[in-house]
Amino acid sequence: MAITVARLKEALPGVLVEPPGLRWNPGDTPFFYYPPLETDWGQIRLLVHLQDEGRFLQFRSIDLFTLSENQRVREQQIEILLAHNYRKKSVQFGYDPEDGEVCAYVDLPVLDNEEISRRLMERVLTSIRLSGSDLLRELRQTEKTAPLPAEPPAKPGKEKLLKTLIRRVCRLVYGKLIER
């Protein structure tokens, strides 16, 4: 038996509110707003989405952060996102390349006849709050400390930009520059 909305509301420590409308439309499956999680670096507003006839539960942040318009700062922020995805196991982060919106999400597949406990939900919410706070701190500090370019850099082609990003990620993850 999959999770029902009633079982989900019992397990979550807080009040789920049905949203009047969203920019992101998850279809005709149940989704709810969860009260914002407070951190030292800002609020994390959550959307709780019950999918696949109650067999899949997703927690997703709404408007967590927007990447900088400055290309150099944005590249540093993307590196931070990738590093957090590498280090964190339960909470994952993504961004929309169109508008730079960053989101945090936790996906929970639910087996039949599996109980979703209040303790599990509290752990998920705590993980989102702590990981999201760490990410927000690093992204905001990068935005404040990054030097502004004296003159706009030459716009590299997409291939060169991709190579640069991959090289930086590899350097970050493996600690050395991969030979060309």
Residue 167 and residue 86 in one domain: no
Residue 123 and residue 135 in one domain: yes
Residue 44 and residue 78 in one domain: yes
Residue 50 and residue 80 in one domain: yes
Q: What is the CATH number of the domain that holds 50?
A: 3.30.1460.10
Question: What's the rounded Cα separation, in Å, for the pair 132 and 42?
Answer: 9
CB 65 within 8 A of CB 139: yes
Radius of gyration over alpha carbons of the chain, in Å? 19
Residue 12 and residue 83 in one domain: yes
Phi, then psi, of 115 in degrees rounded to 5: -85, 135
Residue 141 and residue 162 in one domain: no
Report the pLDDT value the prediction gives residue 52, as an integer from 0 to 100.
82
pTM, two decimal places? 0.70
CB 121 within 8 A of CB 108: no
CB 67 within 8 A of CB 115: no
Residue 13 and residue 45 in one domain: yes
Report the pLDDT value the prediction gives residue 179, as an integer from 0 to 100.
46
Residue 89 and residue 173 in one domain: no
**SS (HEC) of the chain:** CCCCHHHHHHHCCCCCECCCCCCCCCCCCCEEEEEEEEECCEEEEEEEEEEHHHCEEEEEEECCEECCCCHHHHHHHHHHHHHHHHHCCCCEEEECCCCCEEEEEEEEECCCCCCCCHHHHHHHHHHHHHHHHHHHHHHHHHHHHCCCCCCCCCCCCHHHHHHHHHHHHHHHHHCCCCCC
Per-residue pLDDT of the chain (180 residues; tens, 9 = 90+): 577 777 888 888 776 776 665 555 555 667 788 888 888 888 898 888 888 877 888 999 988 899 988 888 888 999 999 999 888 888 999 989 888 899 999 998 887 767 788 888 889 999 999 999 999 999 988 888 866 554 555 555 666 777 777 777 766 666 644 444
Domain span at residue 157?
A: 153-180
Residue 33 and residue 113 in one domain: yes
Residue 106 and residue 168 in one domain: no
Residue 112 and residue 175 in one domain: no
Based on the structure, what is the number of domains in the chain? Answer: 2
Residue 136 and residue 172 in one domain: no
Report the pLDDT value the prediction gives residue 63, as an integer from 0 to 100.
86
